[in-house]
Amino acid sequence: MAVDSKRELIDKLRQDILRMQGFAPPESRAAGGIGLGPVENAFPNGIFPRGTVHEFISTSREQGAATCGFIEGLLSRLMDGGGVCLWIGTSTILFPPAAKSFGVEPDRIVFVTMRREREVLWATEEALKCKGLAAVVSELQEMDFAQSRRLQLAVEKSKVTGLVIRHSPRLIGSTACAARWQIRPLPSALEEGLPGVGSPQWEVELLKVRNGHTGSWQVGWSEDGFVPMAKPTLVGTQDKKWIKTG
């Protein structure tokens, strides 16, 4: 009995710590999932962590565009309960009307343009303290551990989800973010017999996951949201830049 009690206490403490870090408990999996299928299984309790900070590494303009599209897909679920998103940067490659194809009305994204990266970091930290926001997206290049820790401390109180896109960073070291992602574009999926551009598809890689595991998956998009791809798609090697993480 004493052993069972200790085990239950340890399990409860583990779940309490994960909850404080933005990871939802197992019983909320159905409600808290974001539709990424097997990708979400890489996170503790198999749920995409909200109310925490995610880091996205982009090493080319193609990856940057793919990352923005993938994040718009995430926003469609993060914002389904209402609220707006702040998108902060010195500039952005996002085409706002394209958000509609991911189920997000462009007028629910407020773009904030700053002159310098240090101003972007300051604005991001302040925005992440606002409980009324659904999410905050930030575009910058460099971010060290101390800076990421300040962002993480902000969301621990507000429970706002932060998504930081790092474009071609010179140094990729350790950060306090819950996960480090890298999104690469794949050839779009065409409906059989129909012309056009087709639906977007991505190679989604988790480079680091706090208390979870890394991996790589192929994910597409449809009117109903993310669609895990069962069959592999041939990927060109010209844009596949491997990065070394600290």
* Helices (H), ranges, 85-221: 117-128, 145-158
User: What distance in Å separates the CA atoms of residue 33 and residue 51, rounded to the nearest whole number?
Assistant: 13
Least reliable range by pLDDT among 23-27, 176-180, 203-207: 23-27
Q: CB-hemisphere CA count at 13 Å for 72?
A: 27
The separation between CA 135 and the C-alpha centre of its own chain, rounded to angstroms, equals 10
User: What distance in Å separates the CA atoms of residue 205 and residue 217, rounded to the nearest whole number?
Assistant: 6
Domain 47-228, CATH: 3.40.50.300
User: What distance in Å separates the CA atoms of residue 124 and residue 142, rounded to the nearest whole number?
Assistant: 14
Closest by CA position to 132, among listed 88, 86, 85, 83: 83
* DSSP H/E element including 7: helix 2-20
The overall average pLDDT reported for the chain is 85
User: What distance in Å separates the CA atoms of residue 163 and residue 216, rounded to the nearest whole number?
Assistant: 19
The separation between CA 137 and the C-alpha centre of its own chain, rounded to angstroms, equals 9
* DSSP H/E element including 164: strand 161-167
Q: What would the pLDDT profile of 59-87 be if each residue is shown by its tens digit? A: 999 999 999 999 999 999 999 988 999 99
- Please say whether the beta carbons of 113 and 137 come within 8 A: no
pLDDT in the model for residue 197: 72
Is pTM beyond 0.75 here? yes
Q: What would the pLDDT profile of 107-164 be if each residue is shown by its tens digit? A: 999 999 999 999 999 999 999 999 999 999 999 999 999 999 999 999 999 999 999 9
Residues 6+ apart with CB under 8 A from 64: 58, 93, 165, 167
Torsion of CA 16, 22, 28, 31, to 10 degrees: 170
User: What distance in Å separates the CA atoms of residue 14 and residue 148, rounded to the nearest whole number?
Assistant: 23
What tokens were used for 157?
A: 């109180």
Backbone angles phi, psi at 132, to 5 degrees: -80, -10
- Choice between 14 and 178, residue whose per-residue pLDDT is larger: 178
pLDDT in the model for residue 151: 98
Closest by CA position to 52, among listed 30, 27, 32, 72: 32
